[in-house]
Structure 1
Amino acid sequence: MSGETTGLSDTVRAVLDNAPRLEGLLPGPRERIIREELGMSPVRFFQILNAAIDTPEAQAYAPVLINRRRRVRAHRRSVRLGGPPWPDA
């Protein structure tokens, strides 16, 4: 897909395309892949990913990834605020 048809930049699409394969990796290998293959810092990678999960374009482009990242964010927010460990618990 081109950036024009998805409404996403090439950088955002690269982050969304690579995020699933990076999720299970330990921080060292994950950071190396982000730097070497995507040419950005891990901090920038996650800034882009976290901003993208709130956009309808990212939801349309990678719905499974976006829904999973939203659940993880909600879980972490709930734990920080002293709520149940998972929303349905």
Structure 2
Amino acid sequence: MPGSELSERDRNILAFEEQRFTYQGAKDQAIRDTFGLSATTYYQILARLLDDERALAYKPLVVRRLRRLRSTRFRAHGSPEQGSS
């Protein structure tokens, strides 16, 4: 089964990302309630998952959507290399 090598927590995080929240505070609270993690720790784990091909195989639509959002934000804020020369 695709994604079978992912931990249960990782699979649950990807499933959680399929939900829609009306505002960030609601999602942050749901993260604490569901996973017992701070939002910062949760997003660090999620960022790692987005670069994991097993996650892409397990939930391709979710991972691709989140990768696009990350890429859009990254371009909007500029890369760390910009302005460092």
- Runs (4+) off by over 6 Å: none
| TM-score normalised by structure 2 residue count | 0.79
Matched positions, count: 78
Name the structure where helix makes up a greater proportion of residues.
1
| 2:64 aligned to which of 41, 64, 67 | 67
Unaligned runs of 5+ in 1: 83-89
Q: How many Å separate the matches in 2 of 1:70 and 1:60?
A: 14
Q: Which residue pairs with 2:35 in the alignment?
A: 38
Normalising to structure 1: TM-score of the pair?
0.76
Does 1 or 2 have the higher relative contact order (CA < 8 Å, sep 6+)? 2
* Identity of matched residues, %: 29
Give the whole-Å Cα distance in 2 for the aligned partners of 1:26 and 1:69: 17
After superposition, give the CA deviation of every residue in 1:46-87 in whole Å (9 maximum; x if it has no partner). Answer: 1111110111100001100100111111111211228xxxxx
Which blocks of at least 5 consecutive residues in structure 2 are unaligned? 80-85
